[in-house]
Structure 1
Amino acid sequence: MKEQPRRQAISHTWQVLAPASVLCIALLTGCAVGPDFTRPGVAKNAGYSQEKLATTTASADVADGGAAQKLVEGMDIPGQWWTLFRSPTLNALVEEALKANSDVAAAQAALRQANELAYAEQSSLFPSLSGSASKTRQLPSTANTFGSPARILTVNSASLSVSYDPDVFGGGRRQIESSTAQAEYERYQLEATYLTLTSNVVNTAVTLASLRDQVTATQAIIRLQSDQLDLLQSQRRLGAIANTDVLTQQAALAQTRATLPPLQKQLAQTRNQLMAYLGRFPNQDQGENFDLASLHLPEQLPLSLPSTIVEQRPDVRSAEAQLHQASANIGVAVANQLPQFSISGTLGSSALGGTRLFSSGTGFWSLAGSVSQTIFDAGTLEHRKQAAVAAYDESAARYRSTVIAAFQDVANALRALQADADTLNQQVQAEQAAHQSLDLAQAQFRLGAVGYLNLLTAQQNYQNAVLTRVKVQSTRYSDTTALFQALGGGWWNRTDVAPTSLGSPDRF
């Protein structure tokens, strides 16, 4: 093929494509029908409590979990907030869960899918260019009409086609906006999955510590009651007490022993739950142990401003993305009611010989434009628009409900922290009093100053006080975790999202 015909062909190509390209660029900066999305504002009077909350909790005279906690308004939340519990074992388990948990892997894949679909939608803003080539051999039907010799013809052709649907009213851009909002939704769903998983791992570790301490306390009480039974049996052999006292103590000991298997069962089931969070099978337990002494209760806690909650909570950001998507879908529905434009062009060459393609006299081209408008559809498009408006109203209501629930979570966590501290303080005092009462009852019983029922009552009171104190201690850790979760978990200070979850945007 000679150079001059090739240049002519290229020139023809640009003559066809340039108008469409210019129109494409011009329309990309045009207006889009439908509402422009704006984030709903938080009510000015929104807050966590009707009255002013105390900024410091009470303390208790106990080594594990008894420290006072101070709320610091505006304090930022670290991305790895669980490290504030100062447990290397807990830190390692959380990191393992983030890497191995199947829910996280599924959320990452969902985000990658949403991003790829959003990238695919963006291609609608550009012309579509396609090429084709063919070689046809045929025998014309008139070849043997008058006895003339048959002649097989070979036709070679090549063409370049361009098509473009100008986004005159912005329907395509609204569709891209909708897909992008869906990707944002999946992005914050992934953050919500991270937050839920890390909170569950920490709470499970706290539960394991509490159960282990309850088992230890129960075993100590069993030893105490066993020693008391030995004493009663010695006194019975000496005839100092009746046999009924021994039988009563045996029954009390058996009842205490009966509380141990349920605790051990709950401990085993909680460990199985932890294995599931870590992506392990139950038989892959590596023996990580927790007790309350291995966990440090954070003494400074963040308290975010009410105006920042909507930005920090992944569930609120997810609801906002759904609202944004519903808003964009209204624009798509409106654009579908308006005229639809289309431009197409073809440039090619057809010749009997392959070497003559794109030579002088073999070229052909076409340029066409069209516009279409629905005249009658029995109200289909109008009803779809109204359905999009209704979907937006539904998303707006769900968004407000999510925001209110977020404030409720923070308010509940703040109340719980204060109540937990006060409860632990009183419970420690109750345990100390019960322990003193038991010591006194034991001494008086040995001297015969009180009856056995007084001793039994003192034992039961002390047993209940110890177990209740352990439970209240663990509740302080759990409610501290609940506050971090209610405030969003500091995801904005982390980089947990794998780069592959963002998909592969096209260079265009």
Structure 2
Amino acid sequence: MIALRRLWVASISPFLFACTTVGPDYKIPDNAAVRSQQSQGRFTASEHASVSGDLAPDAWWRLYEDERLDGIVLQALKANADIRVAMANLRRAVAAYHEVEAESLPQGEFRGKAERAQLSGQSFLQTTQPPVFNLGDFGLGVSYLIDLFGKLARADEAALAAAQASEAALDSVRIAVVAHTVRAYVMGCAANHELEVAQHQLEIQERAVSTTRRLADHGRTDPTAPIRAQVQADLLRGTLPTLRAMRDEAHFQLAYLLGKSPAALPREETECHAEPSISRPLPVGDGAALLKRRPDIRQAERELAAATARIGVATADLYPSISIGASAGLTGIMRDLGSGPTARWGVGPLLTWNFPTNGVRPRIHGREAEADAALARFDRAVLKALQETETALSAYTNAQQQVDALRSATKQAEEAARHERARYRAGRSPYLAQLDAERTMADTSLALAQAESKVALKQVDLFLALGGGWQSSQSATSSSHD
């Protein structure tokens, strides 16, 4: 028996020492877009005075210094349904990883069977039929697959990378939820701001209607002047429902993002009347920081790693599979179970080898094609991140230039209105001239309010493109579950 055991150990020893891991070892390809020098540099519009090359903070929404907004974002990170879905997907991916990981551990089983049976006489080379027996079969078995060619290691590697990709997908959802929440809040603030300016503009126009009617009644102006003034007032009045609808839409959007029905979110909890602003140049960093921050890039890179590992899983099917095992049990007539003749045991290796005529090589080629597609998606994620950031940065800086110009125009319009009011009070200018100056001031104020709303929304677009926010949201959500 000792000699037999030594012979068995000697027979499998070469396999144990020859263990290798087939398939390509993963690394980011040298020709990947993420390795390009042009992808790592400064953004083309980063020289504008409204932005800086400093790294964007993780909790970028706190740059607005708005406590109400901070609270709303925290609520969204805790209760948003999309985040809950992504977290469930991550738990599923982690469970799948642990399932694959468990396959490399020894496997055990217990088997028990009791039956009343009639056995075949000819199976025992007898012409007479054996009697009916109460038969029993009980046993334990343990087996361990020797991962000679790294199939289990590659499967474990692929499952881990897939779980990490799911984690990055969760981070992407967190970024989107934060950005959409801030956007909805800004939209509500902007709608209220523009509504107040438009109402003020309408009040001025209604005064103009009243004045032109009095002048027309006394024959001091064109009889059609009151009609034209009324048309202008009606046009302004027609803009108010659109702004009210925008305000309601923002409120309902916030309710959805916070995981509430519209009726369950009081308006006073989210209402504001001026867009939140940032008092310093926006920190945007550079391309290298962007590629590290964006979780969609990390997700694509992890998917490439998983696809590369699956090539090794498929390649391992070209080689034999060896497992070692042991079993022991009792088999026989029920009343005799436990006696010596019913005992059985066995120990030894099991070798299986499927010849590569069953589609293994085409399956390997398919996995290689999947890896090529994953590399293309990785490059696409990198290029898309750069394109989105450059586009958002250009839109923001140009919108900021528009605001600067309109602020100058508004100041001049206010100065002209003050001058016309002084001339009217001194009796040196007609009242209509003062109304025209005030109407011009109201028009520029409305244009400025619209431009400031646009800037606030472009800020959110830029921060969304920069990909920050998931780091702080992770700590916020984890602390909420403690």
In 2, the alpha carbon distance for the partners of 1:226 and 1:301 equals 41
The secondary structure found in structure 1 opposite 2:474 is: coil
- Structure 1 pair 81–33 and aligned structure 2 pair: CA distance change class (3 A): same
- The one of 158, 166, 178 equivalent to 1:186 is 166
In 1, the alpha carbon distance for the partners of 2:478 and 2:71 equals 22
- The one of 230, 242, 246 equivalent to 2:210 is 230
**Aligned pairs (5 A) from 1:345-494:** 345-350=326-331, 357=338, 362-377=343-358, 380-438=359-417, 461-494=440-473
In 2, the alpha carbon distance for the partners of 1:139 and 1:339 equals 40
Amino acid at match of 1:228: A
Superposed CA RMSD: 3.6
Amino acid at match of 1:357: G
In 2, the alpha carbon distance for the partners of 1:300 and 1:293 equals 19
In 2, the alpha carbon distance for the partners of 1:382 and 1:363 equals 41
In 2, the alpha carbon distance for the partners of 1:397 and 1:328 equals 17
TM-score, reference length from structure 2: 0.83
Does residue 56 (structure 1) correspond to residue 45 (structure 2)? The answer is no
1:178/1:326 contact within 8 Å kept: yes
**Aligned pairs (5 A) from 1:216-255:** 216-255=196-235
The offset of 1:275, in angstroms, is: 1.3
Amino acid at match of 1:181: A
1:55/1:72 contact within 8 Å kept: no
The secondary structure found in structure 2 opposite 1:119 is: helix
Higher mean Cα deviation, 157-166 or 173-182?
Answer: 157-166
Aligned length: 460
The secondary structure found in structure 1 opposite 2:49 is: coil
1:156/1:357 contact within 8 Å kept: no
The offset of 1:166, in angstroms, is: 2.4
The secondary structure found in structure 2 opposite 1:259 is: helix
Does residue 44 (structure 1) correspond to residue 23 (structure 2)? The answer is no
- The one of 86, 89, 92 equivalent to 2:68 is 89
The offset of 1:301, in angstroms, is: 3.5
- What does residue 23 of structure 2 align with? 34
**Structure 1 residues 8-31: Cα deviation after superposition (integer angstroms, max 9, x where no partner):** xxxx9xx89x979x98x958x943
In 2, the alpha carbon distance for the partners of 1:19 and 1:126 equals 20
- Structure 1 pair 448–239 and aligned structure 2 pair: CA distance change class (3 A): farther
Does residue 277 (structure 1) correspond to residue 243 (structure 2)? The answer is no
Amino acid at match of 1:337: L
The offset of 1:239, in angstroms, is: 3.2
The offset of 1:155, in angstroms, is: 4.6
- What does residue 301 of structure 2 align with? 320
The offset of 1:440, in angstroms, is: 5.6
The secondary structure found in structure 1 opposite 2:38 is: coil
Amino acid at match of 2:35: V
The secondary structure found in structure 2 opposite 1:489 is: coil
TM-score, reference length from structure 1: 0.79
Amino acid at match of 1:244: T
2:198/2:236 contact within 8 Å kept: yes
1:49/1:411 contact within 8 Å kept: no
In 2, the alpha carbon distance for the partners of 1:340 and 1:82 equals 55
1:134/1:157 contact within 8 Å kept: yes
In 2, the alpha carbon distance for the partners of 1:499 and 1:180 equals 22
The offset of 1:72, in angstroms, is: 4.3
- Structure 1 pair 475–391 and aligned structure 2 pair: CA distance change class (3 A): same
Amino acid at match of 1:273: Q
- Structure 1 pair 376–52 and aligned structure 2 pair: CA distance change class (3 A): closer
- Structure 1 pair 115–26 and aligned structure 2 pair: CA distance change class (3 A): farther
The secondary structure found in structure 2 opposite 1:35 is: coil
Amino acid at match of 1:251: V
**Structure 1 residues 38-68: Cα deviation after superposition (integer angstroms, max 9, x where no partner):** 13552123256676842632xxxxxxxxxxx
Structure 2: gaps of 5 or more residues: 122-129
Higher mean Cα deviation, 161-170 or 179-188?
Answer: 161-170
In 1, the alpha carbon distance for the partners of 2:48 and 2:415 equals 34
- What does residue 125 of structure 1 align with? 104
In 2, the alpha carbon distance for the partners of 1:365 and 1:499 equals 51
2:45/2:393 contact within 8 Å kept: no
- The one of 105, 114, 135 equivalent to 2:84 is 105
In 1, the alpha carbon distance for the partners of 2:331 and 2:367 equals 49
**Structure 1 residues 263-282: Cα deviation after superposition (integer angstroms, max 9, x where no partner):** 11222122212211111112
Identity of aligned residues (%): 22
The offset of 1:286, in angstroms, is: 0.7
The offset of 1:371, in angstroms, is: 2.5
1:229/1:250 contact within 8 Å kept: yes
In 2, the alpha carbon distance for the partners of 1:332 and 1:392 equals 13
2:119/2:132 contact within 8 Å kept: yes
